Amino acid sequence: MCHAGVKRARTVQRWQGGGPDAVDGRTLRRHEPAHKLSAEERAELLAVANSAEFAHLPPSQIVPRLADQQRYIASESTFYRVLREEKQLAHRRSERPARACSKPRAVCADAPNQLFSWDITYLPTTVRGQYFYLYLFMDVFSRMVVGWQVYAEESSTQASELLKDLCAREAIKPGQVILHSDNGGPMKGATMLATLQALGVIPSLSRPGVSNDNPFSESLFKH
């Protein structure tokens, strides 16, 4: 039997010889690490971590920067442990905290003039590298093109004028239509947003960075 096995066997024998009231002595053992931070050292760690220089940084960046200054307060893992115990690890960066995003509500059209989709696409010219721009508004329910115009450039102002003409021609009332688009500049321009508010048209925008959130207009342009 190896030395460790002999040691365990003798431990069991001591417990068995102690009678029915014997307990495992190891469960009552309290060990304090020799290098444990003192109250003063812990306070210094928290003061440094919450200082103006380091308050926005995680421990993985605090410890190396302290090393560059020839300072050592504690290891990276100790910084993490202490800050975790103090509940100061949730957000230590300069950007805004993450916000919970809810799923956008589904929109369903069961008749014309309830949901429009619009976009801008290129129209090639006979001059290489030069394009015109087709502004096109489509009724999602009927798939009918309800408004279009060709311009020499992309502009929120021109889109606003086209939308005004469309609403007047179709007799659109405030709160009647939802207008869906992607996150392009003309779609989110101040003039266009002000026009939507003035006409009572409800805006609907695609998710940022997602190219297939406006499939109605995109699929129409492919034909």
28 CA to centre of own chain? 47
What's the pLDDT score for residue 134?
92
Q: Do the beta carbons of residue 67 and residue 59 sit within 8 Å?
A: no
Q: Are strands 145-151 and 178-181 parallel, antiparallel or unpaired?
A: unpaired
Query: What six digits make up the tokens of 207?
Result: 């998710």
Query: What six digits make up the tokens of 164?
Result: 């005004």
Cα(152)–Cα(70) distance, integer angstroms: 62
Q: Is residue 193 classed exposed, middle or buried when 0-12, 13-18 and 19+ CB atoms within 10 A define those classes?
A: middle
Domain residue ranges in the chain: 37-95, 115-222
H helices within the chain, ranges in order? Answer: 3-16, 39-49, 59-68, 76-85, 156-169, 185-188, 190-199, 215-222
What's the pLDDT score for residue 222?
67
Cα(138)–Cα(7) distance, integer angstroms: 84
DSSP secondary structure code for residue 24 in this structure: -
State the number of CA atoms in the 13 A half-sphere of 58 facing the CB. Answer: 9
What's the pLDDT score for residue 129?
83
Query: What six digits make up the tokens of 190?
Result: 């101040």
Cα(98)–Cα(140) distance, integer angstroms: 34
pTM of the model: 0.53
Q: How many residues does the chain have?
A: 223
Cα(82)–Cα(77) distance, integer angstroms: 9
CATH of 115-222, one of 3.30.300.30, 3.40.50.970, 3.30.420.10, 3.40.718.10: 3.30.420.10
Q: Do the beta carbons of residue 179 and residue 116 sit within 8 Å?
A: yes
Q: Do the beta carbons of residue 201 and residue 177 sit within 8 Å?
A: yes
Cα(183)–Cα(181) distance, integer angstroms: 7
What's the pLDDT score for residue 104?
65
DSSP secondary structure code for residue 214 in this structure: -
pLDDT tens for the chain, 223 residues long, are 556 666 677 777 776 766 666 565 666 666 677 778 888 999 999 999 999 899 888 899 999 999 999 999 999 999 999 999 998 887 776 666 667 766 667 778 889 999 999 998 888 888 888 899 999 999 999 999 999 999 999 999 999 999 999 999 999 999 999 999 888 888 888 999 999 999 999 998 887 666 566 777 777 776 5
What's the pLDDT score for residue 186?
86
Q: Are strands 115-124 and 178-181 parallel, antiparallel or unpaired?
A: parallel
